[in-house]
């Protein structure tokens, strides 16, 4: 497994990552979440061996992952990394890019493998297209396919769907995570999208102020959000009597001790998000119907 043991890293004087520790087993998916600038990309680069640590160490199956000071060539065969800014070869085709690191020794095998990979990222129709003519999202999908081509044991993905539009994102996500599980490829994904995490990740780590604020199983952290930051990752929430309550956990009722006044209603697809004034606070409630501004209602939780 991947063992991250009390690692600390700084670009200059101030640590960006402080005393982080976690493990990832073969085939497991760990999500790294945190606000922009919290160190997600830095952590992935450190795990890849792109930088030297200040403290601690990183092991994959008991082999230490070393930084440039101790390792001439960055990276290892068992590990692949797809950066936020992926670099492809623009003047050759999609299939050539994807097959770039596959052996030419068995051309039929290679062709079959590339076809399978293009199916995972839904680019079969673009096999012969030159990469330079693709959109940002399509390029990102080529980069993903290329990274999994040689079946690494572990893959590091930095916001892997950030350039991909909503039309494609859902099915691509399902394909990719299913593929990685089937092939028992461990993955660590930096993301700020809960959709990348819930339903897929086995574990998650929340970075805040250079440290791990919380780590655990997504479903458990979702059901029992211990801090406002983790709650805000999952959805709209309120703090009522020092308790974190999601907007969909508040219910509008005939009568209760809690009285509020509607400020604004927002349609969100499945229902309405009602913004309301409760005492001196603004609260958010999900409701099936639109309410009029100024309307008074009671709620419970
Ligand atoms: P995230 O991916 O969560 O947005 P980053 O890892 O990119 O966060 O950045 C974490 C912090 O490290 C930020 O304060 C950022 O400005 C700083 N940082 C990132 N890359 C470098 C670098 N190459 N040199 C110096 N500081 C950097
Ligand atoms: Mg980043």
215-238: pLDDT as tens digits = 999 999 999 999 999 999 999 999
How many angstroms does the Cα of residue 268 sit away from the middle of ligand 2?
28
Mean pLDDT in residue range 203-212: 97
Is the pLDDT score of 74 beyond 90? no
Judged by DSSP in three states, 245 sits in: strand
What percentage of the chain has pLDDT greater than the value 90?
A: 92
Ligand 1 pocket: which of 16, 67, 192 to mutate (most atoms <8 Å of CB)?
Answer: 16
Residues with CB in 5 Å of ion ligand 2:
40-41
Secondary-structure percent of the chain, ordered helix, strand, coil, rounded to 5: 30, 35, 40
- pTM here? 0.93
Q: Which ligand is nearest to the CA of 85?
A: 2
Closest atom of ligand 1 to 45 CA is 6
Task: Say yes or no to pLDDT of 15 above 90.
Answer: yes
- Give the model's pLDDT for residue 86: 79
- Ligand 1 neighbours (beta carbon < 6 A): 11, 16, 34, 36-42
pLDDT at 289: 96
98, 131 contact by CB (below 8 A): no
DSSP string, 138-178: HHHHHHHHHHHHT--SEEEEESTTTTS-HHHHHHHHHHHHH
Q: What is the CA 6 to chain-centroid distance, rounded? A: 22
- Using the atom order of ligand 1, give the atom closest to the CA of residue 12: 25
Interatomic CA distance for residues 246 and 175, integer angstroms: 30
**35-60, pLDDT tens digit by residue?**
999 999 999 999 999 999 999 999 99
19/279 Cα distance (integer angstroms)? 42
Residue among 153, 145, 191 at smallest CA distance from 172? 145
pLDDT band for position 85 (50/70/90)? confident
Contact between 137 and 168 under an 8 Å Cβ cutoff? The reply is yes
Q: Which of 206, 249, 211, 210 is nearest to 230 (CA)?
A: 206
Going from the N-terminus, what domains does the chain have, and what CATH number goes with each?
2-223 (3.40.50.300), 236-300 (2.40.50.140)
What gap in Å lies between CA 189 and CA 40, rounded to an integer?
9
* Residue of 10, 15, 41 best suited for mutating to test ligand 1, as the one with most atoms within 8 Å of CB: 41
Rounded percentage of the chain residues whose pLDDT exceeds 70:
100
- Return d(Cα 65, Cα 48) in angstroms, integer: 7
Contact (CB, 8 A) for 53 and 9: yes
Note the pLDDT of residue 122: 95
Mean pLDDT, to the nearest integer, of 113-135?
A: 96
Average pLDDT, the chain: 95
Pocket test for ligand 1, best of 7, 8, 11, 68 (most atoms within 8 A of CB): 11
Identify the residue with better confidence: 19 or 166.
19
The DSSP letter of residue 65 is P
pLDDT for 143-198, tens place per residue?
A: 999 999 989 999 999 999 999 998 889 999 999 999 999 999 999 999 999 999 99
Closest CA to 258 of 203, 299, 206, 296: 299
Task: Supply the pLDDT for residue 160.
Answer: 95
């Amino acid at each position: 497994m991947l063992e991250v043991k009390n690692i600390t890293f700084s670009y200059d004087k101030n640590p960006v990552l402080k005393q982080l520790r976690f493990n990832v087993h073969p085939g497991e998916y760990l999500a790294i979440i945190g606000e922009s600038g919290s160190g997600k990309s830095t952590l992935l680069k450190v795990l890849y061996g792109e930088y030297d640590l200040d403290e601690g160490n990183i092991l994959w199956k008991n082999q230490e992952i070393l930084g440039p000071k101790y390792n001439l060539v960055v990276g290892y065969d068992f590990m692949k990394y797809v950066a936020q800014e992926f670099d492809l070869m623009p003047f050759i085709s999609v299939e050539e890019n994807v097959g770039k690191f596959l052996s030419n020794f068995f051309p039929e095998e290679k062709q079959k493998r590339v076809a399978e990979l293009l199916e995972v990222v839904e680019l079969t129709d673009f096999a012969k297209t030159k990469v330079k003519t693709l959109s940002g999202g399509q390029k990102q999908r080529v980069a993903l396919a290329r990274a999994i081509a040689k079946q690494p044991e572990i893959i590091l993905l930095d916001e892997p769907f950030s350039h991909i539009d909503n039309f494609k994102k859902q099915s691509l996500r399902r394909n990719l995570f299913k593929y990685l599980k089937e092939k028992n490829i461990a993955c660590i994904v930096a993301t700020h999208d809960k959709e990348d995490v819930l339903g897929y990740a086995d574990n998650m780590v929340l970075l805040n102020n250079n440290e791990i604020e919380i780590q655990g199983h997504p479903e458990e952290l979702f059901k029992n959000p211990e801090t406002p930051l983790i709650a805000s990752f999952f959805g709209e929430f309120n703090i009522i009597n020092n308790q974190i309550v999601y907007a969909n956990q508040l219910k509008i009722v005939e009568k209760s001790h809690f009285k509020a006044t509607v400020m604004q209603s927002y349609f969100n697809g499945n229902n309405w998000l009602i913004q309301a004034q409760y005492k001196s606070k603004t609260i958010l409630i999900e409701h099936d119907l639109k309410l009029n501004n100024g309307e008074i209602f009671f709620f419970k939780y």
